[in-house]
Structure 1
Amino acid sequence: MSSASLINPADSIETQNAKLLHIADALMRRIENQTAQSGAAYVQFERAALLEKRVRQRTEELERTLDLLQDSNAQLARANAEAEDARRDLADAIETVKEGFALFDPQDRLVMFNSRFCRDFRDVAPDLAPDMSFDSYISRIAGSRYLALPDKDTPEAWRARRMARHQDRNVMFNVELTQDRWLQVSEQRTGKGGTVVLQTDVTDLIRIERQERARLESAQARMIQATLDHLNQGVAIFDASGRLLGWNQKIGALLSVPARLMQLGVTFDAILDQLGQAFVFLGGVDRTIFRHWADHGHTVEPISFEVRHGARDILHVFGRGLPDGGFLISVTDVTAEREAAQRLFEINEMLEQRVMERTLELEDALNAAERANASKNRFVAAASHDLLQPLSAAELFIGSLSDKLGDPADRQVLAKAGTAIKSAVSLIDALLDISKLDSDKLHFDIRAVALSEILDPLRDEMEVLAAEKGLRLTILPSHAIVESDPAYLRRVIQNLAANAIRYTEAGRVLIGVRRQGNSVRIEVWDSGPGIAEEDQDAIFEEFHRLDRAASRNDGLGLGLAIVERACTRLGHPLGLWSEPGRGSCFRVSVPVAGQAGPERRDPARSRKIDLGLSGLIVLLVENEPELRRAIQLLIESWGVDVIEAENGEAALSLLEDLDIMPDAMILDQQLGAGPKGTELLQILTAKYGPRPAVILTADRSEAVQRACEALGVTRMLKPLDRTDLATFLSDACLAGDA
């Protein structure tokens, strides 16, 4: 419709404007109504578009899922085909196996088997089917008429044993079938717990084994008989019924049994009855006991005894039971051994008599020596006492005369005479001390003593002597309390200090105390010329002084001899370290008061008591024949058995030949060209185990002492102290009893 139909041109302008406004208003309202309707439609359009998008997405996802499902179905079909192919291949494979094969799952259900499985049990093979239980399979086998059961065995008992074997992880056994046929059955567990059963026909192997066993038994019987005939003993073998199974010709000759009696099946009683009165049973066994042993006792324990045949023949009879219930008898001619033993017994008695006579002679000689030594000690003591009185008077006279002489030359001569008398007095005192220390009647006053009570007064005394030579003396204080004889311990330290000052020209002398476990070590150091290693043993000898510049002093050479004797008698180990040009150190170890230590015995008393060493076996290795013989006779007089050798090689060879390990060992350190005593001890310990041992040596060097300490053995210095030796053997005997 055009605008000409809406407005009449004939109308006035106002009318036309009014109509136009009315039309415009109507059009505006219409447009507004149309805009509201189009907004709601747009919202519906948006919803429809969103739903369409979601449906399209879900459709695409569904399509993809269907594609995946189709792929999975295809893969499953291929897997099933492959599994079926594998199953057919496995079935074909096990069908080619020459043995019967069956597979049971972890629940003991039959999964698969080949045609050879249970083929020998023709009444069981038709019943085999997948999913059959293992118990049903065994029950059918136990009831099969083709299974050959042992005598007095039942199918139920066989089935129970077979199911019990099934519990083992690996099973293998043989099953006997009828008509002398055999199957070998084996079971193996799979990784998932299933069971593989294999049945193998071993009939041919069993039959070949039987033939071979029969052949070997025949050959073995011939070999056994040949062996019996070559034995130097008579042998007879009886079965469980006491009937003769085997024998050699030697037993008939030894027992003087006629050949007609030694036949297969002859009873033991018949043979025993043939032994006439010429056979005399010895050792508490008679015919009745021997017969009873053959009837009943041979299954419990063997029997051994001797019989006398005729005037001089001695036969040893030994019987032992056999595993099958029979028994074996062996007869040995021991006439020569018994005669030799009798001769050895007679020789031993003669030697014991000679040893006793020699021991008595040695005891007499020892007593004479001890009496002579005691007489010497009494003489020295008496002479020393008698000599000291006039010498003391001479000192007084010289002292009173010196005040009256005005001439310096006369005074000098008189002073020299006084010095000579003082030296004589010191010499006599030293000899008297040595005599006392050598005497068995000397008794020590062992008690707790503070070292400060010895060292403090010694400082005042020795400082004067050190100052006279320009030496610096240092005595370190000590609060240790030791167990010793205070008088002799003071004399030991005093002699060592005086000796250090005497032989030191310049420098210092140091006295100190070190704690060592349950003991203390008193050390005397000096900066003197030192002592060569080859001279370190000689300095402890009487009247021995080294030829050095220091020897011009008034030393008498008895101080160290007194020190060594006193330390030995007190049980205080004495050590020495010295190096030429660097000085020396003398060391004395003293036990701390209140600490348990080895018991010190008075030598005079130790010889009067029974040491209780009877039966003790001691290995003595000493390369000096005279000293070895002296030690052997001494310890044999105490009841000790001695194995003696001159060096390590001879000792090892002797122990191997005797097959005896001694209870204790006394080894010399210097054994010639062979191993030293400490080295021999290591060899013996490695071969036979640890034993109480002592190292004999005259070497007082630090090296030997350290070697003995490393091995845990005692170093016993020469000359040998019999008390120390007796103490060592007593401790060894107690260790063996423990």
Structure 2
Amino acid sequence: MDLVNPSDSLERQNEKLMQIAEALMRKVEQSPDQTGLAYAQFERAAMLEEQVRQRTVDLERTLDLLHESNARFALARQEAEDARANLADAIETIDEGFALFDQSDRLVLYNSRFCEALRDVRGQLSTGLAFDDYITLISTSTDRDWAADESPESWRETRMELHRKDHVVFNIRLTGNRWMQVSEHRTDTRGTVILQTDVTEIMRLERQERDKLVHKQALMLRATLDHIKQGICIFDHHRRLVGWNRRMEDLLRRRIGPTFRGGDFEELLERLEDLFTYSDRMQKADLSAWARKSAGRDPLSFEVLRDDDAIFDVFMQEMPDRGFVISFTDITRERQTSSALRELNETLEKRVSERTIELGKALEAAKRANASKTRFVAAASHDLLQPMSAAKLYTSVLEDRVSGDPDRELVRKTTSALESAEAIITALLDISKLDLGLATYDVTSVDLNRVFTTLYNEFAPLASARGLDLRFVPTSAKVRSDQSYLYRILQNIVSNAIRYTTGRKILVGVRQMAGSVRIDICDQGPGISAEDQSVIFQEFRQLKKARGDQVGLGLGLAIVDRACKMLDHELTLWSELGRGSCFSVGLRASRGVAAGQTPAPSPAASQSTQGRLIGLVENDAALRNSISLTIEALGSDVLQSPSAEEALELYEELGVVPDCFVLDYQLGDGLRGTDLVLHLRQRYGDLPITIISADRSRELAERCAVLNVGLAHKPLSRAVLADFLTSVPRAT
């Protein structure tokens, strides 16, 4: 148990200790006990005296600190008073009204200019005033000037919403055309500083400038409106007329003038009804209902007809302030033009219809003419190739019979001329079919090496005779193409190279790439200039005469170009003057089994054709005689007949069966050589037969393949007949 209460002040504790020490001393002095108890009490009293002395020192130190703290507090208080006085002096020197609210929205400080313009509010300001009360005083001040759409209650709500923001600036309108700008800012301690500035002069100057600008813009707007073609009138949100242009007065045929300014929209409708007739889908009541809408109005567009038959397009649209503008556009001329165009269109449609009928008739006539041309080409091919075949065969027989060298040379020249004429006729037939779209083709897998072999056998003698080194590089490539047309493409390019080259070498090779194959035919000729490379594929275009005495029409490359397009083969040309040319044909590679190809004819002189009996059926007498002479010249015998019926009767009458048959495809009276094949095989079995025809269609080739008979195209040559006879076994 403590002798003193620790919660007592130091003075009180010291006083208690002194009293205890004195009491103990008296007790020691008065006690009759002189033993150790007395000494213990004395010792305790000495200790108490020491504690009293220590507490006294602590008390004195505490008193010194207290006096020092009081002195500092007094100094700080004086400084605070000085700072407050300085702050008051500072804010008093500010031209604006100044007020400070603490974080509890209580007025702490303000200067003499705060609410100076609000005299009835100024007298009620005092420190500790709540911000809500301050706003109420402002809203109820008699110095406030309220707008038409503004009330004290709505302003208080808006003002309290602004107070929640950290920074805000706004204007207050006062009576006497005065304005006060209020700037409110939040402090770091969440207090509020308010500055009030008199901006009356600024607002007046700004209003004057704005009035001047508005007046200038109004003049510009007026001038603009007066210079546009449309009639325009403008209504405010109360449907009162506030603007128009002269064109509108012209449309109404009267001056609007001051008497109508501010007039109601209904009055304008009355004036319009006297002059205009509305369209069927729009009436006066519809326009009136549109103008009275309180919500957003959709734009309106309609037409009206004036009493002088003038037509106007009317457009009504709402403006942002909920007023609206109406424009009148004169579209009389457009409607008249539209009507005239409509009448013209009807006339043109009638004329086009009549012209279409005429063109349809002309097209039918052209189709008939084209069909006639096609039939003529087909007939001409047969009629031309028949005597051509006969002439070539006659010259081949004549060449065997003449003995003198001059005569032989004459026969060879005749044969060469016939071959040239044959090439021209064949080219004309090919280009006609390609142009007319009558060409037929069958894309299969083609073995290029077989094609190269046939081409080499055909052109090697000619190239050798002209001193040219013609080389075909062997290849294992197979391509997707039509075998006949691919052969014709390469045949024409190689033939051109032989005819026109001035060098010594012609090379035909293949480049194999991923999924494609390119055939290159290169020569060492004079080359083709860049400007000529674009025309050499046109028909009847020849850049220079061919070597030797051969002539042509310039159709070879035209046929190549059209055939490549038909088969979707890429045809390219590289050429340089003085260095030669290289034609390239790009094709798709094939992995299938290549179609077979008839081996090239072997020279007749190298094989024996003796001892065979040939059955010849040909309705053309000249060709029949020439074929017979050629076969006999080759050492075989011929039983010739002009028709199938006479041929069958002849074989029956003689009691012989030919070793093989040569049949014309067109035998007359609608009978085909392929039909005769069936009769012959029914009677005589599976004997060798070949069909001769000028028809190069795929259908005939397929038919011959089905019948397993050969096919030789007119004009015939001695070599073709010799090759056929060589393949026929001798009779035993």
- Tell me the equivalent position of 1:694: none
Q: CA deviation at 1:197?
A: 7.3
Instruction: Check whether the contact 2:311–2:330 (CA below 8 A) recurs between aligned residues.
Output: yes
Instruction: Give secondary structure in 2 for the equivalent of 1:584.
Output: strand
Distance change in 2, residues 1:384/1:91 (3 Å): farther
Q: CA deviation at 1:259?
A: 6.0
Match of residue 295, structure 1, among 292, 300, 316: 292
Distance change in 2, residues 1:423/1:214 (3 Å): closer
Match of residue 307, structure 1, among 304, 307, 311: 304
Instruction: Give secondary structure in 1 for the equivalent of 2:539.
Output: coil
- Tell me the equivalent position of 2:455: 462
Instruction: Check whether the contact 1:245–1:265 (CA below 8 A) recurs between aligned residues.
Output: yes
Distance in 2 (alpha carbons) for counterparts of 1:331 and 1:420: 87
- Once superposed, what is the RMSD of the aligned Cα atoms? 4.9
Q: CA deviation at 1:184?
A: 3.8
Question: Is 1:162 matched with 2:171?
Answer: no
Instruction: Check whether the contact 1:437–1:565 (CA below 8 A) recurs between aligned residues.
Output: yes
Instruction: Check whether the contact 1:233–1:330 (CA below 8 A) recurs between aligned residues.
Output: yes
- Tell me the equivalent position of 1:581: 578
| Counterpart code for 1:434 | I
Q: CA deviation at 1:436?
A: 0.9
Q: CA deviation at 1:353?
A: 4.3
Instruction: Give secondary structure in 2 for the equivalent of 1:291.
Output: helix
The alignment-based identity, stated in percent, is: 44
Distance change in 2, residues 1:592/1:508 (3 Å): closer
Distance in 1 (alpha carbons) for counterparts of 2:101 and 2:383: 117
Distance in 2 (alpha carbons) for counterparts of 1:372 and 1:500: 38
Instruction: Give secondary structure in 1 for the equivalent of 2:202.
Output: helix
Instruction: Check whether the contact 1:478–1:513 (CA below 8 A) recurs between aligned residues.
Output: no
Instruction: Check whether the contact 2:516–2:587 (CA below 8 A) recurs between aligned residues.
Output: yes
Question: Is 1:202 matched with 2:195?
Answer: no
Question: Is 1:507 matched with 2:479?
Answer: no
Distance in 2 (alpha carbons) for counterparts of 1:320 and 1:383: 79
Instruction: Give secondary structure in 2 for the equivalent of 1:459.
Output: helix
After TM superposition, the score normalised by the length of structure 1 is 0.55
Instruction: Check whether the contact 2:448–2:478 (CA below 8 A) recurs between aligned residues.
Output: no
Instruction: Give secondary structure in 2 for the equivalent of 1:330.
Output: strand
Instruction: Give secondary structure in 2 for the equivalent of 1:390.
Output: helix
| Counterpart code for 2:468 | G
Instruction: Give secondary structure in 2 for the equivalent of 1:323.
Output: coil
| Counterpart code for 1:385 | H
Q: CA deviation at 1:422?
A: 2.0
| Counterpart code for 2:372 | S
Instruction: Check whether the contact 1:139–1:159 (CA below 8 A) recurs between aligned residues.
Output: no
Question: Is 1:153 matched with 2:153?
Answer: yes
Distance in 2 (alpha carbons) for counterparts of 1:335 and 1:572: 62
Question: Is 1:492 matched with 2:481?
Answer: no
1:395-410 paired onto structure 2 within 5 Å: 395-410=392-407
Instruction: Give secondary structure in 2 for the equivalent of 1:245.
Output: strand
1:85-100 paired onto structure 2 within 5 Å: none
- Tell me the equivalent position of 1:535: 532
Distance in 1 (alpha carbons) for counterparts of 2:471 and 2:267: 102
Q: CA deviation at 1:433?
A: 0.7
Distance change in 2, residues 1:549/1:430 (3 Å): closer
- Tell me the equivalent position of 1:473: 471
Distance in 2 (alpha carbons) for counterparts of 1:520 and 1:116: 104
- Tell me the equivalent position of 1:705: none
Instruction: Check whether the contact 1:171–1:186 (CA below 8 A) recurs between aligned residues.
Output: yes
Distance in 1 (alpha carbons) for counterparts of 2:190 and 2:585: 79
- Tell me the equivalent position of 1:321: 318
Instruction: Check whether the contact 1:282–1:305 (CA below 8 A) recurs between aligned residues.
Output: yes
Instruction: Give secondary structure in 2 for the equivalent of 1:540.
Output: coil
Instruction: Give secondary structure in 2 for the equivalent of 1:305.
Output: strand
Structure 1 range deviating more: 173-182 or 191-200: 191-200
Question: Is 1:379 matched with 2:376?
Answer: yes
Match of residue 546, structure 1, among 543, 546, 557: 543
Q: CA deviation at 1:562?
A: 0.8
Instruction: Give secondary structure in 2 for the equivalent of 1:531.
Output: coil
Structure 1 range deviating more: 326-335 or 351-360: 351-360
Question: 5+ residue gaps in structure 2?
Answer: 1-81, 592-732
- Tell me the equivalent position of 1:560: 557
Instruction: Give secondary structure in 1 for the equivalent of 2:305.
Output: strand
Distance change in 2, residues 1:567/1:89 (3 Å): farther
1:239-254 paired onto structure 2 within 5 Å: 239-254=236-251
Distance in 2 (alpha carbons) for counterparts of 1:303 and 1:198: 51
Distance in 2 (alpha carbons) for counterparts of 1:103 and 1:550: 116
1:570-609 paired onto structure 2 within 5 Å: 570-572=567-569, 574-588=571-585
1:137-148 paired onto structure 2 within 5 Å: 142-145=135-138
Work out which of the two has the higher radius of gyration on C-alpha atoms and give 1 or 2: 2
Q: CA deviation at 1:141?
A: 5.2
After TM superposition, the score normalised by the length of structure 2 is 0.56
Question: 5+ residue gaps in structure 1?
Answer: 1-84, 129-135, 595-738
Distance in 1 (alpha carbons) for counterparts of 2:486 and 2:87: 100
Distance change in 2, residues 1:405/1:472 (3 Å): closer
Distance in 1 (alpha carbons) for counterparts of 2:563 and 2:372: 21
Instruction: Give secondary structure in 2 for the equivalent of 1:403.
Output: helix
1:633-648 paired onto structure 2 within 5 Å: none
